[in-house]
Chains A and B, each alone.
Chain A
């Protein structure tokens, strides 16, 4: 009797439904294609997932908030339960935010969930970008996906900022005022753009409604579209993986989407959701009731934007003052234009970095293997310098809190940051590059000579040596499997001329690859092994003769 064969379940609901769907949309074909996509395992590959899941949480909690929020700037008398604002004249937007906070069941929790997941969304996306950068995952064929991801990051910042302004409380109003000032600081067209955006002089009575439209319609829709493109490209390109035995540019080692990754990713979604819920339950975020309704006259000390706008605020704070001048009747405010230009340039550099590196290396091959950061020392050092530049600007947004909490002089903190902004990225570049090269040297040393075993042996002629253990193939793979670029020379083109472009390219190439550590070659390793064998034989002989 065969027990392994099950009876065909003719009337099974599941089978029937599956069949129905399959016959109409070809589900089995889709499942076969997507279900067998392989994903490699590494914790850093899950950062993008965290960002995506917090975006889903944003959509869910945000939808809840739209049920109760009213984006009107009409002034009403507050008649809610929060005593310190009783009878205050506030906008409908602020009133409905207070209503959500104090009178809608679960409203405050949802507000906090929405806000915390927004902070997490941008943070996880940023860290994901750093992971992609430092492992070189943006190289061909993924340059365009890097740009898509960059656009997503900027959209996330835009989504965050438009949302931050919606409660129309004092803090967010102060933030909006800064934006207004920045817009007005653009020469010639600034004032016009500002009055177009605010429908007249700041704050006007339309801007909240407009930001709301952007926040709940345009920006989430764009994020969804770009997210879809991002994921679609991920499927097309397949995931990248770190080097290891059997892992090549032409393959991918990991587990299939179905069932392993679906279960794992699904579970991870709930973990992310759960962690956000826990933090939202126990930690206040944006206590709008403390700030009061927006009124252009009061400005609160310690006004900061949410973290992801912080670096722009820091740029404004660190900008040197007293550089304004007039062109005709227009004031050119360099204290606004310099930070504006610098931040835009920084963003532009981030966006086009893959193309710069591609141009410098001239590498047209596809790369599916990730670099260990140390194996691309110059790129890693550039990244570290960028991170440092961003970090100083970021810290610049909290000069006042740094001054009060560490009992320092605000002016000195500011000057220190201004100097740091110029000096620390250079220091970070040099230090990182040296560390990378040192690590590479160590790797090469270990690859060739093996690991120090701690076994000290005295040879018959009196010499002491430490016996090195050769690495096994698995360990060796990680240490020697990386690409080695060489600086290129500026070559004349077809007309026999060395163009400026070629010169720049070759000097950049020298900058990137001049002091490089080549991976240990097979010959080097074999020679070293051979030498080690001889030595071992000597050692054995010595031991024998001792007996």
Chain B
């Protein structure tokens, strides 16, 4: 097994590699163009240096291997990471979800534990183990798409868990869909292509990269524009409105009524 891997790694660095890669590339372009938008997001040229991979492996062994296994093959405590792709590592680690604080229904967001270089190195290491969704192309993270189309896609595909206003929602058994009010464009994109935790994968056949950009555009608009109607009350809808109606409006009026009645005595 180890020998085979060494052999493959050896092949990768041999002069033949260029020819093989070019052939494969032509094959992909030639046959795949009409049936593009395949399962994997548009891989931009993956720049992955050996130093990065080595550093990533070191960090992985020190911080992740206890649950994910020394070769990222997974254990009872953590899933197999071969083929999950760079995007997955970047999403989990750069939002602070990984390394997990504790096992529970769902990993919580917490302060990020690694520097950007370390995260990139880990991503490179995991990426080198098998193909998976890569870090999204910056071209799709500009929030310059169509917010209206994005809003509609969001309502159809995302709102049932994340709420129509992106305020989040409850799932079964203590799991939940987080709110999206602080999520960066990259995080949103990565979440869609990797489907972290309970989220389904929205691959490029399902929602194209341009449409993902539309969704990001819509969410960025919602993030950057406060409600025109005043204080948003957590965008939670009628529940927080009801609380304000009882304790704000009616409460205030009762205080006034008590004052008015006391005045006359």
Interface residues of A (CB under 8 A from B): 41-47, 50, 78, 83-88, 101-102, 108, 112, 115-116, 119-120, 123-124, 127, 170-171, 255, 264, 268, 271-272, 275-276, 279-287, 289-292, 295, 297-307, 310, 397-401, 403-404, 407-412
Q: Max chain B CB contacts within 10 Å: which of A127, A286, A302, A303? A: A302
> What are 22 A-to-B residue pairs whose CB atoms are below 8 Å?
A43-B261, A44-B257, A46-B257, A47-B257, A78-B148, A87-B148, A119-B241, A127-B250, A279-B249, A283-B244, A286-B237, A287-B232, A290-B164, A300-B160, A301-B159, A301-B170, A302-B239, A307-B246, A310-B238, A401-B236, A407-B174, A408-B174
B104, closest chain A residue (CB): A407
Contact segment of B30-38, B53-61, B114-122, B220-228 = B220-228
With contacts A285-B241, A297-B156, A306-B238 taken as known, whether A279 is within 8 angstroms of B248 at the C-beta atoms is yes
- Check: B22 CB closer than 8 A to any chain A CB: no
Residue numbers in A under 8 Å from B232 (CB-CB)? 284, 287
Residue numbers in B under 8 Å from A171 (CB-CB)? 164, 237
- Check: B231 CB closer than 8 A to any chain A CB: yes
CA distance A279 to B251 in the complex (A): 12
Would B147 and A307 count as touching, CB distance under 8 A?
no
Would B229 and A116 count as touching, CB distance under 8 A?
no
Query: Measured between C-beta atoms, what is the minimum distance from B254 to chain A in Å?
Result: 7
CA distance A101 to B230 in the complex (A): 13
CA distance A123 to B232 in the complex (A): 21
B164, closest chain A residue (CB): A300
Residue numbers in A under 8 Å from B250 (CB-CB)? 50, 120, 123-124, 127
Would B170 and A401 count as touching, CB distance under 8 A?
yes
Residue numbers in B under 8 Å from A275 (CB-CB)? 249, 252-253, 256
Would B253 and A124 count as touching, CB distance under 8 A?
yes
* Complex interface bits, B151-183 against A, C-beta within 8 A gives 1, otherwise 0: 110011001111111011111111011000000
Residue numbers in A under 8 Å from B228 (CB-CB)? 101-102, 108, 284, 289
Would A409 and B173 count as touching, CB distance under 8 A?
yes
Given contacts A84-B150, A170-B155, 18 further A-B contacts (CB under 8 A): A41-B261, A41-B265, A42-B261, A50-B250, A50-B257, A88-B152, A108-B229, A112-B229, A171-B164, A255-B264, A282-B230, A284-B229, A287-B227, A287-B235, A306-B241, A307-B239, A307-B241, A307-B245
CA distance A402 to B242 in the complex (A): 14
With contacts A285-B229, A303-B237 taken as known, whether A410 is within 8 angstroms of B170 at the C-beta atoms is yes
Would A301 and B245 count as touching, CB distance under 8 A?
no
A292, closest chain B residue (CB): B155
Q: How many residues of B contact A (CB 8 A)?
A: 60
With contacts A43-B257, A291-B164 taken as known, whether A84 is within 8 angstroms of B245 at the C-beta atoms is no
CA distance A408 to B174 in the complex (A): 6
CA distance A310 to B237 in the complex (A): 12
* Residue in A120, A282, A301 whose CB lies within 8 Å of B160: A301
Would B235 and A290 count as touching, CB distance under 8 A?
yes
Would A300 and B163 count as touching, CB distance under 8 A?
yes
Would B242 and A284 count as touching, CB distance under 8 A?
no
- Check: B46 CB closer than 8 A to any chain A CB: no
Query: Measured between C-beta atoms, what is the minimum distance from A413 to chain B in Å?
Result: 8
- Check: B258 CB closer than 8 A to any chain A CB: yes
* Complex interface bits, B177-208 against A, C-beta within 8 A gives 1, otherwise 0: 10000000000000000000000000000000
Residue numbers in A under 8 Å from B150 (CB-CB)? 84
Residue numbers in B under 8 Å from A397 (CB-CB)? 239
- Check: B105 CB closer than 8 A to any chain A CB: yes
Residue numbers in B under 8 Å from A400 (CB-CB)? 169-170
Interface residues of B (CB under 8 A from A): 105, 146-148, 150-152, 155-156, 159-165, 167-174, 176-177, 218, 221-222, 227-233, 235-239, 241-242, 244-246, 248-250, 252-254, 256-258, 260-262, 264-265
Residue numbers in A under 8 Å from B257 (CB-CB)? 43-44, 46-47, 50, 268
With contacts A123-B245, A290-B235, A292-B151 taken as known, whether A299 is within 8 angstroms of B159 at the C-beta atoms is yes
CA distance A443 to B227 in the complex (A): 53
Query: Measured between C-beta atoms, what is the minimum distance from B200 to chain A in Å?
Result: 14
Q: Max chain B CB contacts within 10 Å: which of A268, A284, A304? A: A284
CA distance A412 to B172 in the complex (A): 9
Residue numbers in A under 8 Å from B176 (CB-CB)? 403-404
Q: Max chain A CB contacts within 10 Å: which of B173, B227, B241? A: B241
CA distance A541 to B172 in the complex (A): 78
CA distance A265 to B257 in the complex (A): 11
With contacts A84-B147, A88-B152, A124-B253 taken as known, whether A298 is within 8 angstroms of B235 at the C-beta atoms is no
CA distance A275 to B32 in the complex (A): 64
CA distance A409 to B218 in the complex (A): 30
* Residue in A83, A282, A285, A297 whose CB lies within 8 Å of B147: A83
* Residue in B163, B174, B244 whose CB lies within 8 Å of A279: B244
With contacts A116-B245, A301-B168 taken as known, whether A290 is within 8 angstroms of B260 at the C-beta atoms is no
CA distance A116 to B249 in the complex (A): 8
Would B242 and A307 count as touching, CB distance under 8 A?
yes
CA distance A101 to B229 in the complex (A): 9
Residue numbers in B under 8 Å from A280 (CB-CB)? 230
Residue numbers in A under 8 Å from B238 (CB-CB)? 286, 304-307, 310
Would A411 and B173 count as touching, CB distance under 8 A?
yes
CA distance A478 to B151 in the complex (A): 63
Residue numbers in B under 8 Å from A87 (CB-CB)? 148
CA distance A52 to B164 in the complex (A): 34
Query: Measured between C-beta atoms, what is the minimum distance from B79 to chain A in Å?
Result: 22
Residue numbers in B under 8 Å from A403 (CB-CB)? 170, 174, 176
CA distance A171 to B254 in the complex (A): 31
Query: Measured between C-beta atoms, what is the minimum distance from B263 to chain A in Å?
Result: 9
Would B229 and A287 count as touching, CB distance under 8 A?
yes
Q: Max chain B CB contacts within 10 Å: which of A264, A268, A399, A400? A: A400
CA distance A389 to B256 in the complex (A): 29
CA distance A386 to B165 in the complex (A): 35
Residue numbers in B under 8 Å from A300 (CB-CB)? 155, 159-160, 163-164
Would A290 and B222 count as touching, CB distance under 8 A?
yes
A399, closest chain B residue (CB): B170
Query: Measured between C-beta atoms, what is the minimum distance from A271 to chain B in Å?
Result: 6
Residue numbers in A under 8 Å from B249 (CB-CB)? 116, 119-120, 123, 275-276, 279
Residue numbers in A under 8 Å from B254 (CB-CB)? 43, 47
A264, closest chain B residue (CB): B260
Would A284 and B151 count as touching, CB distance under 8 A?
no
* Residue in A50, A88, A279 whose CB lies within 8 Å of B151: A88
Would A299 and B160 count as touching, CB distance under 8 A?
yes
- Of all A-B residue pairs in the complex, the 5 with the closest CB atoms, nearest first, are A301-B169, A307-B242, A284-B229, A119-B245, A300-B164
Residue numbers in B under 8 Å from A115 (CB-CB)? 241
Residue numbers in B under 8 Å from A116 (CB-CB)? 245, 249
Would B230 and A284 count as touching, CB distance under 8 A?
yes
A84, closest chain B residue (CB): B147
B150, closest chain A residue (CB): A84
B228, closest chain A residue (CB): A108
